[in-house]
Structure 1
Amino acid sequence: MSSDPWGRVDETGTVYVRTADGEQVVGSWQAGSPDEALAYFERKYEGLVVEIGLLEKRVQTTDLSAKDAQVAIDHLREQVEAHHAVGDLEALRTRLGELVKTVESRREERRAQRAKQSDEARQAKEDLVVEAEQLAQSDQWRAAGERLRSLVDTWKGLPRLDRKSDDELWHRFSHARSAFSKRRKAHFAQLDAQREDARKAKEKLVAEAESLSDSTDWGPTAARYRELMSEWKAVGRAQREHEDDLWNRFRGAQDVFFAARGSAFAERDAEQTENLKLKEELAAEAEKLLPIGDLKTARSAFRSINERWEAIGHVPRDARPKVEGRMHTVDRAIQEAEEAEWRRTNPEARARAAGLTGQLQAAVDKLRAQIEQARAQGNASKAEKLERELEGRQALLDQALKGLQEFGG
């Protein structure tokens, strides 16, 4: 008979393993010595130890599912309970029991992780739905459309929830996208209609612009082109495929008109510059008449100058006040000389001036006599009052005498 701390072989070749519940039959060995029998079943035990160790490592270091781990544990436990090995089987049972606890702990961790992931996915999808519903009311068609497409990609990357929750959230999400698409479609349909109206209106503006392009009525036509431009801007844009062509025709018609007007104005400016030169020469000729000596000669000379002046035509607008002012200065000098001559030679005016002077002289003489009388009577206040009146009448008399002198009297 042969034995070790965990087993023995009896004389019949039966192999036993020692357990807490007593000896258990392992098997029968007839092929060799008892020591060989024990060695064989000890190797069986070592094999179980290795398998349990490998399973423990897999549970700790890999993503082995709890279900597969439990199947492997049950398989090893059946081998341990079958008592087909010699060794500390209780220790193996203990290790397998601890492994079961570890697997269960891992199962709970994964369950909690899945619950957390599910909650996070639910929250993420609810956030997507809320944002999609907000975007459904947006008028930023391009940006909102791109963002909604991005939200769809994000949704596809999230885990599925339970069917009911996932379907409800997806229904809201899809409804928001559909509402946005419907609004955008209606907007662009309306925009297309507006652009078609704009195209028709711009066709009319182009036709009028082209009809005006050969006009030589510069002022009114230029004003009408400005009105047409304002109307063009107010109409809005036509369809893209028509807008550029319409604009090129519209602008081209204006360019033809304004180029012709520019050419005409350039010719006019050259002519007016020459006119200015001629009028400046006439102004200089007129200024030589100053100061006025012989009125008749000056008047005749100025009339000749003015006739040549009127025949010349327009000068540049900004130069007109200065050159015309020079002529007006000479004209005013002649008019003043004529007025002075008239006053000097007009007998009726001279008679009126002489009569007025005589009346004022009589009034002055009378006031002086009254003043002397008041003083003689000792009435000082009356004398002072009369003196003040005398000052006024004397001033008028002096002025009248000066005017009378202009008549040579």
Structure 2
Amino acid sequence: MSSDPWGRVDETGTVYVRNADGTEREVGSWKAGSPDEALAYFKRKYDGLVVEIGLLERRVRTTDLSSKDAMTAIGHLRDQVTDAHAVGDLDALVKRLDKLVETVESRREERKAQKAKQTDEARHAKEALVAEAEELAGSEQWRAAGERLRALVDTWKGLPRLDRKSDDELWHRFSHARSAFSKRRKAHFAALDAQREEARKAKEKLVAEAQELQNSTDWGATAARYRELMTEWKAAGRAQREHEDDLWNRFRGAQDVFFAARGEVFAERDAEQSENLKLKEELAEEAEKLLPVGDLKAARSAFRSINERWEAIGHVPRDARPKVEGRMHAVERAIQDAEEAEWRRTNPEARARAAGLTGQLQAAVDKLKGQVEQARAQGNNAKADKLQRELDGRQALLDQALKGLEEFGG
């Protein structure tokens, strides 16, 4: 017979395991070798249980094994230990399993508390997002508010879900705020587009009348009517950008035809017109000091005052008029472009149009540069000077357009 602190083999080959209380339990029989070999075999069985329990303990400590799966694994090992055909301190293994149960229960409570904390934090975070979205719903900072709302959506998507009822209620408020903002923004830009379309129609009528009057020889009455048409033009507001330049060129072109003819008739007034030119050059210099536009409101008011004095002066010599008027028009366009830039910053659809206009202006500038060079080469300096003035005006517009386009990159 052979024995061990935790087991023995009797003379018949029956193998027993000893419990901590001194009792014994039969775990098998051994006929194939010596009693020592029998005990060694059943000890290896015990060692296998030790390894399995150790592995489970490690999984519980180091992985995200769920409490349910852990308890199932513990129960399975407990059954194996209870009925184990092994020799060793089985009671110690039971105690290790009991200890592991306590660990699993403790971790279950920790996870439960952690989940409750995360849920509470998610609830507060989503309530804050909803509050901000509802505040932004009334904003008129269309671009900034729209970008912020999109960022809030991304933040929302990264937060854990709450219970279905709470999550749905908060999402409904959040979605409603976004929809309200989008509806207001759409209505705002639709109204702006409608205003510009009305302005275009009004200016088309003004262009038509200006063209009907361009061949008139009733100098006084026609000149007075042209001044009235200019007042109506300014009161009409701005048309869509793609129409505004063409309308202005046609409108101003008709006036140029009339005033050019009148200027020829009134050639004897050259001295007076020369003095007018000096005054208008001074006003043009005063207007140019408004650039670059800083305070838009102040610049607009100052230019209006300058323009009123300009209109009161009268005409200048015909050959000098394009240059001096070009200077004033460049300032006026710079102010208009500053207004347009302010509007574009609130209009997400403007970027494509701005890019298109810049391309058109660049093409026009390139073309004019080629024409100037060709006129110079042909010795036609008068034509070259005229084209150079037109080029300067277009270059100023291009510079302003490029500046406005750069604002979209910020």
Aligned to 1:10: 10
CA distance in 2, matches of 1:91, 1:128: 55
Return the offset for 1:251.
3.8
1:247-279: CA deviation from partner (whole Å, max 9, x where unpaired): 332344345556667777887537999xxxxxx
Alignment of 1:306-321 (within 5 A): none
Structure 1: gaps spanning 5 or more residues: 274-315, 317-409
- Contact 1:66-1:104 within 8 A present in 2 as well: yes
TM-score normalised by length of structure 1: 0.59
CA distance in 2, matches of 1:107, 1:271: 99
1:22-81: CA deviation from partner (whole Å, max 9, x where unpaired): 322222222322111111111111111112222222222222222222222222111111
Deviates more, 1:155-164 or 1:227-236: 227-236
Partner-residue secondary structure (3-state), 1:195: helix
Partner-residue secondary structure (3-state), 2:87: coil
AA aligned opposite 2:14: T
Return the offset for 1:177.
2.1
Q: Report how many residues are paired.
A: 274
CA distance in 1, matches of 2:71, 2:127: 37
Partner-residue secondary structure (3-state), 1:138: coil
Cα 1:196–1:25, aligned 2, differ >3 Å: closer, same or farther?
A: same
Alignment of 1:285-296 (within 5 A): none
CA distance in 2, matches of 1:266, 1:31: 139
Return the offset for 1:211.
3.4
- Contact 1:26-1:84 within 8 A present in 2 as well: yes
Cα 1:262–1:11, aligned 2, differ >3 Å: closer, same or farther?
A: farther
CA distance in 2, matches of 1:216, 1:28: 135
Cα 1:85–1:203, aligned 2, differ >3 Å: closer, same or farther?
A: same
- Contact 1:24-1:83 within 8 A present in 2 as well: no
Aligned to 1:28: 29
Higher relative contact order, structure no. (Cα contacts within 8 Å, ≥ 6 residues apart): 2
AA aligned opposite 1:11: E
Aligned to 1:44: 45
CA distance in 2, matches of 1:189, 1:271: 49
Partner-residue secondary structure (3-state), 2:159: coil
Alignment of 1:203-222 (within 5 A): 203-214=204-215
CA distance in 2, matches of 1:31, 1:220: 135
CA distance in 1, matches of 2:262, 2:44: 116
Deviates more, 1:44-53 or 1:244-253: 244-253
Alignment of 1:114-193 (within 5 A): 114-193=115-194
CA distance in 2, matches of 1:44, 1:263: 123
Structure 2 residue 68 is matched with structure 1 residue 67: yes
CA distance in 1, matches of 2:195, 2:262: 35
Percent of aligned positions with the same letter in both sequences? Answer: 84
CA distance in 2, matches of 1:113, 1:203: 70
TM-score normalised by length of structure 2: 0.59
Return the offset for 1:198.
1.6
Cα 1:80–1:218, aligned 2, differ >3 Å: closer, same or farther?
A: farther
Return the offset for 1:141.
2.6
1:175-215: CA deviation from partner (whole Å, max 9, x where unpaired): 22222233233333333332332222111222233334455
CA distance in 2, matches of 1:61, 1:75: 20
CA distance in 2, matches of 1:104, 1:114: 15
CA distance in 1, matches of 2:18, 2:237: 101
